[in-house]
């Protein structure tokens, strides 16, 4: 999710067409972006964590999220084209649903998890991880950027929101990588949020006149993450994978 995906919030900033005015709103933007980036941050954290190598995870996050920023800014430029081609939005929704289904398959097949763990001597390549990170974020961003451009012509604000969102995403992804080892439900909660975002995007494309209130989106995502953080494993701090 993204700050500018919420029309009621975007309207607050409609008059902010100069840097001086936007900078006064940065504290609000930062807080909201950190909160609203939680859903895709968990998915990105799970992708980056698969190698079980802290240095590679850190490098993959830095490069992958840097590439994601370039893709987000490019998406802003072609947002009107995205709005006119619903198949792009449906493709993004299908990809997010595939991430959710793939997670469920891995959870239901512990043998495959053990196999992937035993084969961790040959982890996913850095290039593949970077590409997965960048395009997963792009799939999340299609809905939010398209909605932002649809409700506001303040490109400066949208671009600023995208940059802040990427910074927040890097921070929260690194945090969630550590939390995934502490809260056993958190990864599933994150992918439930991923599925919700995908369904929200499908509804927006197929039934554009159907209202999806902002408060309902925040309530659902908040409830999912409350459940994800409701169970904590007692592990030694040294056992937690630190990625800053």
Instruction: Match 């908040």 to its residue by tokens.
Output: 222
3 state DSSP class of 31: helix
Tell me the average pLDDT across 113-121.
41
**Residue at 72 is within a domain:** yes
Cβ neighbours of residue 173 closer than 8 Å, sequence gap 6 or more = 41, 44, 45, 48, 61, 65
Are 144 and 194 in contact by the 8 Å Cβ rule? The answer is no
**Residue at 138 is within a domain:** yes
**Residue at 134 is within a domain:** yes
Number of domains in the chain: 1
Enclosing domain of residue 234: 3-239
How many C-beta neighbours within 10 Å does residue 199 have?
Answer: 15
> Who has greater pLDDT, 218 or 16?
218
Tens digit of pLDDT for each residue in 43-68?
A: 888 888 865 577 888 888 889 989 98
CA distance 165 to 157: 12
Tens digit of pLDDT for each residue in 137-193?
A: 888 888 666 655 655 556 676 777 778 778 888 888 888 888 888 998 998 998 998
- Number of separate helices (H) and strands (E) present in the chain: 12, 0
CA distance 242 to 244: 6
CA distance 234 to 183: 9
Are 48 and 64 in contact by the 8 Å Cβ rule? The answer is yes
Tell me the average pLDDT across 214-240.
77
**Residue at 111 is within a domain:** yes
3 state DSSP class of 205: helix
What is the pTM for the complete model shown? 0.74
**Residue at 244 is within a domain:** no
Are 4 and 142 in contact by the 8 Å Cβ rule? The answer is no
Pick the closest to residue 60 from 112, 123, 127 (CA basis): 127
Question: What's the mean pLDDT when you consider all of the chain?
Answer: 75
**Residue at 179 is within a domain:** yes
**Residue at 17 is within a domain:** yes
């Amino acid at each position: 999710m993204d700050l500018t995906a919420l029309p009621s919030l975007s309207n607050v900033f409609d008059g902010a067409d100069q840097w001086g005015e936007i900078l006064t709103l940065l504290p609000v933007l930062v807080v909201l972006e950190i909160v609203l980036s939680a859903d895709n941050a968990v998915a990105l954290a799970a992708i980056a964590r698969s190698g079980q190598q802290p240095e590679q995870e850190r490098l993959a996050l830095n490069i992958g999220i840097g590439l994601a920023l370039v893709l987000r800014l490019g998406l802003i430029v072609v947002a009107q084209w995205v709005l006119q081609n619903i198949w792009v939005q449906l493709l993004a929704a299908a990809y997010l649903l595939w991430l959710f289904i793939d997670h469920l398959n891995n959870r239901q097949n512990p043998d495959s998890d053990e196999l992937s763990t035993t084969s961790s001597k040959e982890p996913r390549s850095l290039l593949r991880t970077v590409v997965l990170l960048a395009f997963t974020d792009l799939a999340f961003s299609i809905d939010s950027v398209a909605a932002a451009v649809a409700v506001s012509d303040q490109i400066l604000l949208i671009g600023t929101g995208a940059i802040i969102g990427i910074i927040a995403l890097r921070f929260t992804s690194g945090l969630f990588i550590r939390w995934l080892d502490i809260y056993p439900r958190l990864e599933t909660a994150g992918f439930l949020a991923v599925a919700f975002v995908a369904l929200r995007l499908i509804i927006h494309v197929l039934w554009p006149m159907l209202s999806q209130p902002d408060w309902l989106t925040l309530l659902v995502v908040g409830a999912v993450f409350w459940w994800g953080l409701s169970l904590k494993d007692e592990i030694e701090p040294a056992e937690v994978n630190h990625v800053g």
